[in-house]
Structure 1
């Protein structure tokens, strides 16, 4: 059976749970849908994990997560390394922060106990090791205490993260309001005494689909469906439809297209000699900054996810039609 290749997912995350009842109880997992997964852990819908099913630890909150994984497999690798930093092959032995002091019955090292400080410090470490350092990842914090632990750790280490790796905070409601990572149910505007619903925050504000890149995807469809790719913006050779992989500049208003191999060589100029995966670079046509991960997300969606593209652009056209009808 032929391998079914999939596009880079719209969202795949590795998350950190903390019990709101017993703060020392932590859990690390991965998911493409954080709101649904949190509901599973809290017993609101089917699913979850046995370790989070004890009622005396519920409700759980997602205090932080890492997003931007290019596949489920990639997220699972990061999740396993974060759960087992004492034996993970992704972390050089000389760099390990977690050390096992006990062994299991089978002689294998026992997993050290977790704390919020130890988990965020190992997140920082994993984002620096060669296995993950060049991935298009982003760290999100939804809890002030978790972010404080992160900032405290960052202040103690001399080696920082690369500049293009984003760290985002979204703490939601102020003290005294509900802030355990579950949606707040309110009366909608239009009902008697109703108020507008508050804007979603935290995990509920994360995009679960490709909506944020719909304009970029539409631009790609327009260029490649009508075979307007022209010459490669890097090597200047004519690009023929169906021959090789062609990637498109992410910047609005720029229709620069190039061979993937050419984009890669162009972005890797000046990087370390052993670098294989590009991170970012400048478009030769518009001189704007382009992130490799964003470019690959559109490329894999176009090549491997035609049904996803059709669904996304149909939604876009439907919304545009409704707006036009409303104006009329």
Structure 2
């Protein structure tokens, strides 16, 4: 049976959902499309979870999420660990922050009740454990008080997170439904033009500003395709040996204007010395040719897209044909 392989997804997230009616009601899920998924939770689109279907708790809003998962399975593993921190094998027993104090009828431990603080503390913990610490994850917060709770926990945590972990805030578009701002007051809008501007702004903020496709790396993908299609690899920028086209795995510098290509193993060894000998997966480094910084995750996303996602690349780089202008027939 052939193994199905796919490129690293453009986006896959684990999100935290909160009821705008009852802030104590929380939900954890995963999705490649947060705006669409939020619409499902709020009943404006088909789908959604039974736990979020009660109208008395709607509308829901995504207050934060984690992105950068290398696959759907990876996101599901993180989601399960965050939902079940009392059982997850990714957390050592002596490090658990959430413990079960009750059992179900079948004798299994009952999931402990969760709060925003408990979720954030377990996110902090999971980002430190060996299973996830070297993944190219990024934290996003869309509500000020949730971000403040995160900062408070980080300030008191005994073990800090790795410095390279990126934390992003966007408080301009905290959403409760697809295309709808989180203000559900019935106050009439003063001017129609202002409401249109505000609605348009919400579509470019918060979860609506997240890249759902490979568009952000389009130029990088086009550069790499041009190099390999025309066999312009040259010599490895790390070991300086000739690169044989079509043999082995080769990666391209992510920086614009740089056509540096190297053996994947050479890039890995080049990135690793500054990260310690115990680590087996690089996080970031610099290009020997242009001396620009490179994120290992960006390089791997392009590499897997080139090797496993020809259809996705063709779609991304497809140029739209321009329609010829209609020429009006001259009247005699």
TM-score (structure 2 length as normaliser): 0.89
Q: CA deviation at 1:130?
A: 0.8
Q: Hey, what does 2:153 align to over in structure 1?
A: 153
Unaligned stretches of 5+ residues in structure 1: 186-191
Q: Hey, what does 1:180 align to over in structure 2?
A: 176
Summarize the alignment of residues 240-259 of structure 1 with structure 2, pairs less than 5 Å apart.
Answer: 240-259=244-263
SS in 1 for 2:274: coil
Indicate conservation of the 8 Å contact 1:172/1:179, yes or no.
no
Q: Hey, what does 2:25 align to over in structure 1?
A: 25
Query: Are 2:270 and 1:274 equivalent residues in the alignment?
Result: no
| 1:47-96 Cα shifts (integer Å, max 9, x gaps) | 00111111111111101000000100000000000001111111111211
Q: Hey, what does 1:133 align to over in structure 2?
A: 133
Summarize the alignment of residues 1-328 of structure 1 with structure 2, pairs less than 5 Å apart.
Answer: 1-172=1-172, 179-180=175-176, 182-184=178-180, 196=197, 197-198=200-201, 200-314=204-318, 317-318=319-320
Q: CA deviation at 1:169?
A: 0.6
Q: CA deviation at 1:269?
A: 1.0
Q: CA deviation at 1:261?
A: 1.0
TM-score (structure 1 length as normaliser): 0.90
SS in 2 for 1:131: coil
Indicate conservation of the 8 Å contact 2:139/2:166, yes or no.
yes
Q: CA deviation at 1:160?
A: 1.6
Greater C-alpha radius of gyration? 2
RMSD: 2.0
SS in 1 for 2:285: strand
Unaligned stretches of 5+ residues in structure 2: 182-191, 326-332
Q: CA separation of 1:141/1:15 partners in 2, compared to 1, >3 Å: closer, same or farther?
A: same
| 1:104-148 Cα shifts (integer Å, max 9, x gaps) | 122221111010011011111111111111111100001112111
| 1:169-207 Cα shifts (integer Å, max 9, x gaps) | 11116xxxx85354148xxxxxx9575432621111101
Counterpart-to-counterpart distance in 2, 1:193 and 1:301 = 42
Counterpart-to-counterpart distance in 2, 1:164 and 1:217 = 24
Q: CA deviation at 1:27?
A: 0.5
Indicate conservation of the 8 Å contact 1:139/1:166, yes or no.
yes
Q: CA separation of 1:53/1:224 partners in 2, compared to 1, >3 Å: closer, same or farther?
A: same
SS in 2 for 1:312: helix
Where do 4+ consecutive residues of structure 1 move more than 4 Å?
192-196
SS in 2 for 1:28: strand
Counterpart-to-counterpart distance in 2, 1:128 and 1:318 = 45
Counterpart-to-counterpart distance in 1, 2:51 and 2:25 = 10
Deviates more, 1:270-279 or 1:257-266: 270-279
Counterpart-to-counterpart distance in 2, 1:179 and 1:202 = 7
Counterpart-to-counterpart distance in 1, 2:177 and 2:45 = 15
Q: Hey, what does 2:185 align to over in structure 1?
A: none
